[in-house]
Structure 1
């Protein structure tokens, strides 16, 4: 049984999802929060496996340390999706998604995997190459480049593991390889080196000329 904390300010969304969950034998809503204050209170008392989060999105990183977070987003904008996933969210679905799609996403993140609808996943994968570190550190493998990007965003090992769909142990191995290849003495120094390279890149309008 997957225990769910459902946090959203729109009663119609909450009611719809609760009705859907009630008809499934493998999911159970153990707590509901309609405000940020209620969310903080429920987090302290409810033991949830998955938090479906439509409010208090700045709490993603803290919640992700204890439960899988499925963000119920208000938009499909690239910036919102990337920020949520980099902060540690295991999944992202728009609030207007069908209830059965949300239930599918809950099951996926409960298994420790990442979830995003096909169009959103393509959007995230299609980020501008100028925002990546691979052009600055070609000695890193693609996965190591992904990990380094998240280090730049101050993501911890657990958040990186959730975001990339890998284990924390694998993240540690990638970080160790990154430190050797850059080289850098610590993850903080590696993130600083990558951040400096990214900040020093020419504006996008110039690089496209």
Structure 2
């Protein structure tokens, strides 16, 4: 039996799904929740095989609930079941750790198949959703992390790459040491690196040192 937890803020959706799965031989609904907060509690308490998670809910949305569950229970298998297909919803949910993403326009049989595949270790992603994710990946490839830097941050990167200390950067750019430290912190975050040495390495690797 595949034990299911249904998390959705629409009572009719929960009722419809629960009714459908109750007549399937290989499914058992072990719980229902009307928001992400309740869903997190039930998920961690019951440890179901599969969690069907809505995205837009009051109290706590599906992306945040997915994040919390995956942090507490990394083995959880969560399938996002939603009406939303835009990349602002898809990408954060999948990044949070969801194993699948299927639309509510799917038939009950298609949802059941997605659950079975996910239960057996596969990632089930609706074709339309898969297209969006691929477009997102391609977009990321076309852009570089350093494209996010401001002109001033670029100047700071240049000086870091040349071996300047924070105080020397402050003197060179006629700004305070505190401002330099703020710029460096922002640079580390934007370039996704941990220290000044990695900033310099990044700058040379991407040929952005003048």
Question: TM-score if structure 1 supplies the norm length?
Answer: 0.60
**CA displacement, residues 86-145 of structure 1 (integer Å, 9 cap, x when unaligned):** 111000112332222211111111112111122221222123634138989xxxxxxxxx
39-48 vs 124-133, which deviates more?
124-133
Choose which of 63, 68, 85 in structure 1 pairs with 2:69. Answer: 63
Instruction: Find the counterpart in structure 2 of residue 40 from structure 1.
Output: 40
Q: Which structure has the bigger radius of gyration?
A: 2
1:16 and 1:99 in contact (8 A); partners too: no
2:40 and 2:69 in contact (8 A); partners too: no
Q: 1:66 to 1:128 in 2, by over 3 A?
A: closer
1:92 and 1:115 in contact (8 A); partners too: yes
Give the distance between the partners of 1:84 and 1:132, measured in 2 at CA. Answer: 20
Q: 1:28 to 1:35 in 2, by over 3 A?
A: same
Give the distance between the partners of 1:191 and 1:2, measured in 2 at CA. Answer: 40
Residue 113, structure 1, aligned to residue 114, structure 2: no
**CA displacement, residues 48-105 of structure 1 (integer Å, 9 cap, x when unaligned):** 0111111432121232314100011231112211111111100011233222221111
Instruction: Find the counterpart in structure 1 of residue 93 from structure 2.
Output: 84
Instruction: Give unmatched runs, 5+ long, in structure 1.
Output: 137-187, 202-209
Instruction: Give unmatched runs, 5+ long, in structure 2.
Output: 146-188
Residue 9, structure 1, aligned to residue 15, structure 2: no
Number of paired residues?
145
Q: CA RMSD in A?
A: 3.0
2:44 and 2:69 in contact (8 A); partners too: no
TM superposition shift of 1:31: 0.6
TM superposition shift of 1:35: 2.7
Q: 1:23 to 1:120 in 2, by over 3 A?
A: same
3-state SS in 2 of match to 1:192: coil
Give the distance between the partners of 1:129 and 1:41, measured in 2 at CA. Answer: 37
Question: TM-score if structure 2 supplies the norm length?
Answer: 0.60
* Highest RCO, 1 vs 2 (Cα 8 Å, sep ≥ 6): 1
Residue 18, structure 1, aligned to residue 27, structure 2: no
Q: 1:45 to 1:131 in 2, by over 3 A?
A: same
